[in-house]
Each structure stands twice: as structure tokens, then as C-alpha cells.
């Protein structure tokens, strides 16, 4: 890939954000609306709001809960998805139950989880897991079900060991679908992280944003919303880097098929 191509892609990637920020800056420059302060005022208050104790007090706890919930959902979703996708009778048995729980919005479960798990970090992690697990689980099931029958029969005929077949055939073959579900789950996890911290919390980004809103610290509230967007973009970028490395074989195969 040439340097010119990299520069062109970078400019295209930054074009829309730059235009939106410029439009927001100009449109709000002379705003007198209390709830829509000028972007300049929001930017000026960003450092004082978040860089004096709130990094360790609010940002890191939120990101830690998000990563813990996401990783736990990834383990549970992939584990159950592989089992359900591989065993036909198990899929027929659990499908009605999965459809029932999948239809329940995760925020509705917050009061119930508070009753069983309290109001601490465990409850907040469970809220994230309850929403993130579904896209991972369902995509894993579809990925396992979509494996090449010839490869599955060949592995069975050659009596390849179960754990070797699981790692090199099932998980590897279903990894594009798993990655797609994990990408969706990460976006849901950020939303559920904020929602969980709005209920009986004493720290976290969601808690801080609600406190700013209740105390009419509107510029500070806007800085929290912007910070959430920045964290989401950073996590998405990290995920894309990991995904591109893990699925390099898949992207190479797709590229060769297009070229042939």
C-alpha cells in the first residue's frame, strides 16, 4: 500500500468528523441557550472536568466494567454458541428459551439484577453481559452451522481429536461470524455501561453525566457525552486492529477470490 493511498484513506476517514465539528462550532458560536452552550465553552471545560481525579475515579472504573462484561459475554456467547450450533437436539431444546430472553431489553433487567446482585460492580457487569451475550451467541451459532460439511466429515473420518477439531475447524471457521457479533456487542456494551451506572451508582461515566445534568453543569455534561464518543471510537479502533490480525487469513482468502 502506497503512502498516497494511506493519506487518501486517512483524509476520507477524518473528513466527516472534521466537517461535523466545524459545523457544531460555527452553529453554537453565538448560542445563548443554557442547554446548548458554545462548543468553545465545552472544550475549555473538558480538561478541568476530567483530568483532575476523574480519570481514576470515573473513567477507569467504567472502562474496566465494560471490558469485564464484554470479555465474559464473549466467553459465554462463544461457548454456548459452539455447543448449540454443533448439537442439533440441544439447539431444538434451547431455541424457544433463547428467543424469549433475547426479546427482553437489557435495561429492563437492571432492577431485577439489583435485587440479586446488589448495587455494586457485579450488577453493572451483569447488565453489560446480559446485552452483549446475544449478538455473540447468535452469530456463533450461525457460524458453526455454516461450516463446510465436507470439512466436517473429513475431520470426522480422519478421527481428528475433539479439541483440535474445535480450535482449528470450528472456531477458525466460525471466527468471521464471531467477530461480527463481538463488534455489535461492543457497541451495546458502551450503552449498557452508561445505563447501569445511572442506577444506584457512586462513580463511573454514567453517574458523572447524570450528576452534571442534575446540578445544571451543562458544559460538563456535554464533555461527558463527547468523552463517551471518544472512548467508543478508541475501543472500536483497537477492536478493528485485533480483528484484522486475527482474520488475516479470511481477508486474504476473500481478496484472492475476488481477483480470480
Q: Where are the domains of the chain?
A: 58-259
Backbone angles phi, psi at 159, to 5 degrees: 55, 45
- Report the pLDDT value the prediction gives residue 17, as an integer from 0 to 100: 83
Please enumerate, as own/partner, the contacts of 101-106 that have beta carbons within 8 Å and a separation of 24 or more: 102/134, 102/138, 106/130, 106/131, 106/188, 106/192, 106/195
Determine the Cα–Cα distance for residues 49 and 37; give it in Å rounded to an integer.
16
Determine the Cα–Cα distance for residues 85 and 89; give it in Å rounded to an integer.
10
Backbone angles phi, psi at 57, to 5 degrees: -85, -30
Least confident of 5-14, 130-139, 189-198, 214-223: 5-14
- Report the pLDDT value the prediction gives residue 12, as an integer from 0 to 100: 76
- Report the pLDDT value the prediction gives residue 68, as an integer from 0 to 100: 96
> Vertex 190, ends 189 and 195: CA angle to 5°?
95
- Report the pLDDT value the prediction gives residue 7, as an integer from 0 to 100: 74
Q: Is the pLDDT of residue 99 over 70?
A: yes
Predicted confidence (pLDDT) per residue in 105-149, tens digit: 888 888 888 888 878 888 899 999 999 999 999 999 999 998 888
217 DSSP 8-state letter:
-
pLDDT above 90 covers a percentage of the chain that reads: 44
Buried b (16+ CB within 10 A) or exposed e, 138-164: bbbbbbbeebeeeebeebeeeeeeeee
Contact residues for 21 (Cβ-Cβ < 8 A; gap 6+): 39
> With a threshold of 0.85, does the pTM exceed it?
yes
Who has greater pLDDT, 260 or 83? 83
Q: Which three cell numbers stand for residue 187?
A: 457497541
Contact residues for 225 (Cβ-Cβ < 8 A; gap 6+): 209
Predicted confidence (pLDDT) per residue in 159-184, tens digit: 888 888 888 889 888 999 999 999 99
- Report the pLDDT value the prediction gives residue 132, as an integer from 0 to 100: 94
**In this structure, which CATH number among 3.40.190.10, 3.40.47.10, 1.10.3720.10, 3.40.50.150 belongs to the domain 58-259?**
1.10.3720.10
* CA-wise closest residue to 231 among 206, 256, 249: 206
- Report the pLDDT value the prediction gives residue 136, as an integer from 0 to 100: 95
- Report the pLDDT value the prediction gives residue 69, as an integer from 0 to 100: 95
Determine the Cα–Cα distance for residues 141 and 163; give it in Å rounded to an integer.
18
Amino acid at each position: 500500500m502506497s503512502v498516497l493511498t494511506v493519506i487518501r484513506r486517512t483524509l476520507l476517514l477524518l473528513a466527516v468528523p472534521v466537517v461535523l465539528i466545524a459545523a457544531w462550532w460555527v452553529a453554537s458560536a453565538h448560542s445563548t441557550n443554557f442547554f446548548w452552550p458554545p462548543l468553545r465553552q465545552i472544550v475549555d471545560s473538558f480538561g478541568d472536568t476530567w483530568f483532575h481525579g476523574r480519570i481514576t475515579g470515573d473513567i477507569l472504573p467504567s472502562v474496566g466494567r465494560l471490558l469485564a462484561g464484554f470479555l465474559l459475554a464473549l466467553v459465554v456467547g462463544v461457548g454456548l454458541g459452539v455447543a448449540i450450533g454443533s448439537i442439533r437436539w440441544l439447539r431444538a431444546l434451547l431455541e424457544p428459551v433463547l428467543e424469549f430472553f433475547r426479546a427482553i431489553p437489557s435495561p429492563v433487567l437492571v432492577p431485577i439484577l439489583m435485587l440479586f446482585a446488589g448495587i455494586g460492580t457485579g450488577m453493572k457487569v451483569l447488565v453489560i453481559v446480559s446485552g452483549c451475550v446475544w449478538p455473540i451467541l447468535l452469530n456463533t451459532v450461525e457460524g458453526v452451522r455454516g461450516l463446510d460439511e465436507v470439512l466436517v466429515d473429513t475431520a470426522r473420518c480422519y478421527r481428528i481429536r475433539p479439541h483440535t477439531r474445535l480450535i482449528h475447524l470450528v472456531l477458525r471457521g466460525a471466527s468471521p461470524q464471531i467477530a461480527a457479533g463481538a463488534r455489535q456487542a461492543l457497541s451495546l456494551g458502551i450503552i449498557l455501561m452508561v445505563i447501569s451506572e445511572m442506577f444506584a451508582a457512586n462513580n463511573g461515566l454514567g453517574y458523572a453525566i447524570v450528576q452534571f445534568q442534575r446540578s445544571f453543569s451543562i458544559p460538563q455534561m456535554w464533555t461527558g457525552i463527547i468523552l463517551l464518543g471518544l472512548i467508543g471510537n478508541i475501543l472500536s479502533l483497537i477492536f478493528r486492529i485485533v480483528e484484522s490480525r486475527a482474520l488475516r487469513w479470511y481477508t486474504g482468502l476473500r481478496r484472492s477470490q475476488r481477483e480470480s
